[in-house]
Amino acid sequence: MNEQPPTKQPKRDLESRSLEVSLARLSEIERDHLALFKAMGEVYGGAIYGMDFLVWGAMNRSKALIAGFRALVQARNLICAGALLRLELDTALRVFAAFLVEKPHDFALAILQGQHVRDLCDQSGKKLTDSYLVAKLEPEFPWIRRVYDRTSGYVHLSSVHIMSALTLSEGEGEQGRFEVKLSEVDKPLPESLYIEACDAFCAASDILLQHVRGWIFTKANPEVVANLKVQREAPRPENDAQPSAPADTGKAAPLS
């Protein structure tokens, strides 16, 4: 059996020209969710594995987060939208973690049974903490540490929330004036902030879908993945060439 993965990871611009373009990209990602969800259920005769449960949950969560994030951006509620961006990044990190462990299906079922990802280990024995997962992704996605740190400030009560309630104004003398708001609507902010948030959300979603594609390829091509594992584990002379890279599934290496 040698089915092909549905589609390769689409190449999206990292920076949108307008908020309208950013929101349209979210709609594209929603369509990708539906196509990949359907493909995952069809490949390899519809067989179900432990990883399917993890990916189903991740994609359902992501689909819900997209809907909520879009509505909050349109309502100019960046306080909540920023927190949802952090949750989308969390989803991507945890699916990525399955590509680092010795037994991905056991890992997925452990999560289903309530274990915390941070308490589990990768193949080298390293705990799968958020910091470790971000560091592993950072070479390919240099922006991820900055976005993770900034959006964590939206999840936990921080200076982000204090400053969002204050508007400073020029006053007479050395002491300025400030206003305090109590509203779900942001104080006036440049549109570029909303565009940046949307683009970051799309980038986090693309990391998730990149690894969903990797799982679909793995599920559809068990013989290919088994051969790749044998090649990786076979002893090689010190000066021997490295084995060829895994098949292109949208950059995410197949699970093994």
* Amino acid (1-letter code) at residue 196: E
Express each pLDDT in 226-236 by its tens digit: 777 777 777 76
CA distance 232 to 177: 65
Kindly report the pTM of this predicted structure. 0.84
Residue 217 φ/ψ region, left for φ over 0, alpha for ψ in the -120 to 50 degree band, beta for the rest: alpha
Residue 248's pLDDT is what?
Answer: 37
- Angle in degrees, CA 195, 163, 93, rounded to 5: 50
pLDDT of 249 reads: 43
In b/e form, how buried is each residue of 89-103, taking b as 16+ CB within 10 angstroms? bbbbbbbbbbbbbee
Residue tagged 């990786």 (tokens): 232
The predicted-structure confidence for 46-89, as pLDDT tens digits, reads as follows: 999 999 999 999 999 999 999 999 999 999 999 999 999 999 99
The Cα–Cα gap between 225 and 227 comes to: 5
Q: Which two tokens stand for residue 42?
A: 């069809």
- Model pLDDT, residue 168: 83
Helix/strand number for the chain, H first, E second: 9, 2
